[in-house]
């Protein structure tokens, strides 16, 4: 004790400087502590999620469950259908939470909502995704894991009343940490955060918290799962002289990724044609079909790590491998486009392993001796990078999953070339394109804020329409009852124009014309917005006509309304966020 006292006395000055330094070192210590806590909690969340899926996978795998109950296994083939029904039910009961799914919802919350993810949404995705994946859907756990980790980071920041800057930091850290934990791959978790959530912003202040949280979560994951990799990698042989084949496989991976995206896009269009915006109900026929297929190809049931291990150990004939590849591509696309809760990383690994194995088998058949297991691993990296636009994460994830340094060079080649092939063709990454479809263009310069916001992301659905034939007195009464203006439609419910309170002041003060006019007479014939128009375009039109709202139409039918104040509000929010980020750098 005496020694401690003398030490304190000796270093008193240093201690004082430590706690009163200009660059408040306490803040850094608190940030490290917070990142460790968030990482640990996100890791725990991911482990709870992992346990739920594993428990369901083992307990209700059609084969296992049938064995316990001593009933024919085909009866249990209905499990994916039950999962589908529960998922549809949950989506219908909680439409608000269901809407905010996947990795893109985290990017959106970081970019537009100060990293805010409601805890109800986090819990919803924990349960809904566990049901979806646990009942055999051929999707992956990474999207929901990131949502759970990011959601927990956001919730803790809210509980501690942290400012928006810190909330963003811990939301990003939580998302990356959960990926680290679920794949037992801490470096890949960090790069997932950088490449996907932060959209390659390497200068982002969330980076240090992301690294620390990923380490903490991986410690939790290793304590729980042990040091074992998810995959059992067999002994394989690859040689640097096989470079041309690595390159060729990389291009094949890029092409397969593009084919999958094309298939997925066409299925999306088909779903929309059949069910409009209510595509989740299509999960029922899809899961019915899947249940039938699973009865024949049981290996397609669930996330697919067991399938990867079987492929790597040369368990299947070439014909079966081709069938598995085709069915996996088809059902991942069919499931993901219904809005089922799951990610694309694990399916990418499965598709990649099948593509790589078939690639090497094909050349072996032609007389070029290539090791299918080695190429299957390279294929995982290629498809993972191509399909998810995550070249660095893919390299590190496959490396961490295989724990084999020899594979890193061919994987680097496969990941980067496959990613470049896809990005070159699509003019953007999959997440950028998904966000663009939802109205947020993250590809353009950040300065051009209004150009980057699509009206789709700010339009309101609670607009009021009025028929053009409505007498003026009724129109005026309706106008006085509402906040904005009215959208005028014809007898076919097609857009005609708008009326606003500003435009009808004269009609309000002069009773003379009320009996003469109908709504049609006071319509402003302003060209409506399309969903893909930018907020800048909306403001330009409003300024031109001196109005403060506009209708949004889709094929002449009114689908929403955009108000001037909403554009200004979102603009201010983004500017404040950018200023805060700039100050923090």
* C-alpha to C-alpha distance for 99 and 121, rounded to whole angstroms: 9
Instruction: Identify which of residues 59 and 480 has a Cβ nearer to other proteins in the complex.
Output: 480
CB of 467 to other proteins, least distance (A): 10
DSSP conformational letter for 233: P
Instruction: Identify which of residues 9 and 525 has a Cβ nearer to other proteins in the complex.
Output: 525
Distance linking the first and last C-alpha atoms of the chain:
42
Q: Where are the alpha helices (DSSP H) in 427-471?
A: 430-437, 449-452, 455-458
Instruction: Identify which of residues 227 and 506 has a Cβ nearer to other proteins in the complex.
Output: 506
Instruction: Please report where in the chains the tokens 């998302």 appear, as a residue.
Output: 175
Structure token pair of residue 501: 């309170």
Instruction: Identify which of residues 182 and 519 has a Cβ nearer to other proteins in the complex.
Output: 519
Instruction: Identify which of residues 503 and 537 has a Cβ nearer to other proteins in the complex.
Output: 503
CB of 474 to other proteins, least distance (A): 12
Structure token pair of residue 260: 């999958």
Instruction: Identify which of residues 337 and 470 has a Cβ nearer to other proteins in the complex.
Output: 470
Structure token pair of residue 573: 């929010």
CB of 516 to other proteins, least distance (A): 6
Instruction: Identify which of residues 89 and 546 has a Cβ nearer to other proteins in the complex.
Output: 546
CB of 139 to other proteins, least distance (A): 53
Sheet containing 486-489: order of strands: 465-467, 486-489, 495-499
CB of 537 to other proteins, least distance (A): 20
* C-alpha to C-alpha distance for 340 and 136, rounded to whole angstroms: 12
* C-alpha to C-alpha distance for 66 and 77, rounded to whole angstroms: 9
CB of 521 to other proteins, least distance (A): 7
Distances (CA, A) of 108 to 198, 302, 324, 399: 10, 28, 34, 29
Q: Where are the alpha helices (DSSP H) in 276-388?
A: 283-296, 305-312, 318-338, 345-365, 372-388
Q: CB of 110 within 8 A of CB of 135? A: no
Sites of contact with other proteins (CB under 8 A): 468-469, 471, 503-507, 510, 512-513, 515-518, 520-522, 524-525
CB of 504 to other proteins, least distance (A): 7
Structure token pair of residue 296: 């024949």
Instruction: Identify which of residues 213 and 522 has a Cβ nearer to other proteins in the complex.
Output: 522
CB of 471 to other proteins, least distance (A): 8
């Amino acid at each position: 004790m005496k020694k401690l006292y003398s030490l304190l006395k000796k270093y008193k000055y240093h201690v004082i400087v430590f706690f009163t330094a200009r660059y408040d070192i306490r803040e850094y210590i608190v940030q490290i502590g917070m990142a460790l806590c968030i990482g640990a909690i996100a890791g725990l969340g991911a482990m709870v999620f992992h346990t739920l899926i594993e428990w369901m996978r083992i307990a209700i795998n059609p084969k296992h469950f049938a064995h316990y109950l001593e009933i024919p296994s085909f009866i249990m083939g209905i499990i994916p259908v039950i999962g589908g029904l529960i998922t549809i039910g949950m989506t219908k009961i909680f439409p608000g939470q269901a809407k905010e799914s996947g990795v893109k919802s985290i990017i959106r919350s970081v970019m537009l909502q100060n990293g805010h993810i409601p805890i109800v949404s986090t819990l919803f995705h924990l349960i809904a995704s566990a049901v979806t994946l646990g009942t055999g859907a051929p999707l992956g756990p990474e999207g929901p894991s990131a949502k759970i980790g990011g959601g927990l980071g956001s919730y803790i920041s809210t509980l501690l009343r942290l400012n928006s800057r810190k909330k963003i930091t811990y939301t990003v850290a939580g998302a990356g940490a959960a990926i680290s934990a679920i794949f037992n791959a801490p470096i890949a978790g960090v790069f997932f955060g950088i490449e996907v959530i932060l959209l390659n912003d390497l200068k982002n202040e969330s980076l240090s918290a992301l690294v620390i949280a990923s380490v903490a979560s991986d410690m939790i994951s290793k304590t729980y799962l042990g040091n074992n990799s998810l995959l059992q990698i067999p002994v394989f042989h690859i040689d640097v002289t096989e470079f041309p084949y690595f390159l060729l496989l990389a291009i094949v991976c890029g092409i397969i990724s593009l084919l999958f995206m094309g298939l997925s896009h066409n299925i999306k269009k088909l779903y929309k044609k059949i069910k409009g915006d209510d595509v989740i109900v299509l999960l029922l026929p899809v899961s019915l079909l899947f249940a039938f297929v699973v009865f024949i190809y049981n290996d397609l049931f669930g996330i697919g790590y067991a399938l990867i291990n079987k492929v790597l150990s040369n368990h299947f004939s070439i014909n079966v491998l081709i069938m598995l590849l085709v069915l996996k591509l088809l059902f991942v696309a069919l499931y993901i486009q219904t809005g089922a809760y799951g990610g694309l990383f694990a399916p990418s690994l499965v598709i990649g392993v099948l593509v790589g194995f078939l690639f090497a088998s094909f050349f072996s058949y032609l007389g070029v001796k290539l090791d299918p297991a080695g190429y299957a691993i390279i294929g995982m990296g290629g498809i993972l990078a191509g399909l998810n636009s995550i070249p660095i994460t893919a390299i590190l994830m496959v490396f961490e999953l295989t724990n084999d340094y020899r594979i890193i060079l061919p994987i680097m080649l496969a990941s980067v070339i496959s990613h470049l092939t896809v990005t070159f063709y699509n003019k953007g990454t999959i997440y950028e394109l998904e966000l663009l479809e939802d109205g947020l263009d993250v590809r353009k310069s950040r300065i051009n804020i209004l150009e980057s916001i699509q009206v789709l992301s700010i339009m309101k659905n609670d607009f009021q329409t009025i028929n053009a034939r409505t007498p003026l007195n009724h129109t005026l009464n309706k106008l006085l009852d509402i906040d904005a203006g009215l959208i005028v439609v014809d007898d076919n419910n097609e857009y005609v124009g708008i009326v606003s309170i500003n435009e009808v002041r004269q009609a309000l003060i002069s009773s003379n014309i009320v009996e003469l006019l109908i709504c049609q007479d006071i319509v402003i014939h302003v060209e409506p917005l399309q969903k893909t128009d930018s907020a800048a375009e909306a403001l330009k039109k409003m300024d031109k006509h001196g109005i403060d709202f506009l209708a949004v139409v889709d094929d002449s039918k009114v689908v929403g309304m955009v108000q001037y104040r909403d554009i200004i509000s979102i603009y201010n929010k983004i500017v404040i966020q950018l200023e805060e980020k700039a100050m923090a750098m």
